[in-house]
Amino acid sequence: MRPKYLLPFNFRYFGIGLILVHIPIKLLWDAMYPEGYGDHDPISDSAGNFLFSPPHLFFIGTTLMVLVGLFLVAFSRERVEDEQITQLRLDSLRWAIYLNYAILLFGLIFTHGSESGHILMLNIWLPLLFFILRFQWVLYRLNRSARSNDSEKKV
Amino acid sequence: MTNSIRVERAIKEITQAELAGQVGVSRQTINSIESNKYIPSTLLALKIARVFSKTVEEIFHLEKNDI
């Protein structure tokens, strides 16, 4: 069975690179503007051109780097992408959606105003991150189980 | 569902990795199937049975709680 709609294996390294590159850029920005760069809230920007303002462009740029990086890591295929891996992938994706909506509902019930916005921001990258962590964890357990079976046979 | 892949492998003298290569899956998947932790698809079950020149029913067996 040939897996569909997955990226080539090596794309994960490009994704990890994007996430790592984003860190020094963010640190540099924070070092340059420790007090914040003017008005960060695009809605209340008096000039009305928030789309091309440096903080907004920086926010979009870094957010895109992290999101694209997470996406590439999450959806690049494994070396051997067989039907068991596909099932583990789907299971992890389901758990990521469960967790995401649990946090979203919890956040919407117990927060208000700008705090709700923060919960929505969290939801941008949380499903991808949780999916990656859960998927890699089950892969690790699968490999460990195969190795322990091998060592049992040798004894 | 149980299976006799481990026995059939021993008779045919092939490793998990060799069987995995012949049916196009990872060695971990063959290990999971042998340990009854993963139930293969019909397609994979047919491929495994073909490697041992047997029918699917001769390799895979339903348990009481499956019926």
> Are A15 and A69 within 8 A, CB to CB?
yes
Q: What is the pLDDT along chain A (155 residues), one digit of tens a residue?
A: 566 789 999 999 999 999 999 999 988 888 887 766 655 555 445 556 667 777 788 888 999 999 999 999 999 999 989 999 999 999 999 999 999 999 999 888 888 877 777 888 888 889 999 999 999 999 999 999 888 877 666 54
- In this prediction the pTM is 0.83
Distances (CA, A) of B53 to A121, B15, B34, B56: 56, 17, 18, 10
| CA-based nearest residue in chain A for residue B25 | A82
B27 touches chain A (CB under 8 A): yes
Q: Can you tell me whether residue A7 is helix, strand or coil? A: strand
CA A115 remoteness from chain centre: 21
Distance CA A2, CA A44 (A): 51
In eight-state DSSP terms, residue B9 is: H
Q: Take residue B9 and report the two structure tokens written for it.
A: 């492998």
Tell me chain A's radius of gyration from C-alpha atoms: 20
**ipTM for the complex?**
0.86
| CA-based nearest residue in chain B for residue A139 | B28
Q: Take residue A139 and report the two structure tokens written for it.
A: 């892969």
Domain map (residue ranges) of chain B: 2-56
Interface contact A143-B41, CB threshold 8 A: no
Distance CA B13, CA B19 (A): 10
B36 touches chain A (CB under 8 A): no
Interface contact A146-B25, CB threshold 8 A: no
B56 touches chain A (CB under 8 A): no
In sequence order, the 6+-apart residues with CB closer than 8 A to the CB of B55 are B49
Interface contact A84-B29, CB threshold 8 A: yes
**Shortest distance, CA B51 to any CA of chain A (angstroms):** 17
Query: Lowest-pLDDT range, A107-116, B17-26, B42-51?
Result: A107-116
Domain B2-56 matching CATH 3.30.70.3150: the answer reads no
